[in-house]
């Protein structure tokens, strides 16, 4: 079966004064990535439910909401109610990960887990079958425009191997330093969803940038070992 490669532009790099316009410019994207940062789990403060609602009303593209918060277990419902289509929560912050993932899915929303660069993939061994997505951070979370951490390539390979061994098929998302230049290599290692902020919204033609990253990912995916 052919792996579907997707691109999820991060509005962290969008112009908030022109958000509706910027979303129109990425109408060919597969997801809209919304980074929710609380100023506690990470040293930055970004979006809340108001931005999620605004994106929901401005676009038909599914909303990929990444919660970088200290209390995901008690706040996921806010973002489901605001219109999230998929919510990812950090393993490092979730006290009851299985319960939270189950609850999100019972609410009719897709659910995923996020790993920071320093967190090994084997912590997902007992829950991989329940996940719609696994998001690997390829930078330390909190700020856009950071440099890609090469060690994450091996984590992608380990995660893909784990999924194959379990017969699980979550989407494997990569976030941090993603561009056309490395999308092929990331896809070859196992990534299927690419979060890109400045590489998309910093381009003269964001839609063309989305297409280029997706195409590079498809080429890399074809190089995966059987």
Catalytically annotated residues: 35, 175
DSSP characters for 127-171? TGGG-SEEEEESS-TT-SSPPP-TTHHHHHHHHHHHHHHHT---E
Q: CA 205, 51, 23 angle in degrees (round to 5)?
A: 20
3-state secondary structure of 64: strand
Give the separation between CA 92 and CA 210, rounded to whole angstroms: 30
Fill in the DSSP letter of residue 30.
Answer: S
């Amino acid at each position: 079966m052919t792996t579907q490669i997707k691109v999820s532009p991060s509005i962290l790099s969008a112009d908030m004064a022109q958000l509706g316009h910027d979303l129109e410019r990425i109408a060919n994207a597969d997801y809209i990535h919304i980074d929710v940062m609380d100023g506690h789990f990470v040293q930055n403060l970004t979006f809340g439910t108001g931005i999620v609602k605004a994106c929901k009303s401005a676009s038909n593209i599914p909303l990929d909401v990444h919660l970088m918060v200290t209390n995901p277990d008690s706040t996921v419902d806010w973002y489901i109610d605001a219109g999230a289509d998929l919510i990812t929560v950090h393993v490092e912050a979730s006290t009851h990960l299985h319960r939270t993932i189950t609850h999100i899915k019972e609410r009719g929303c897709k659910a995923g887990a996020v790993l920071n660069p320093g967190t090994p993939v084997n912590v997902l061994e007992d829950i991989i079958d329940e996940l719609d997505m696994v998001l690997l951070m390829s930078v330390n979370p909190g700020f856009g425009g950071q440099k890609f951490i090469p060690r994450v390539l091996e984590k992608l390979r380990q995660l893909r191997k784990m999924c194959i061994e379990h017969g699980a098929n979550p989407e494997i998302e990569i976030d941090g330093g993603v561009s056309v230049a490395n999308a092929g290599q990331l896809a070859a290692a196992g990534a299927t969803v690419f979060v890109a902020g400045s590489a998309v919204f910093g381009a003269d033609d964001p839609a063309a940038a989305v297409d280029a990253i997706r195409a590079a990912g498809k080429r890399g995916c074809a190089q995966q070992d059987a």
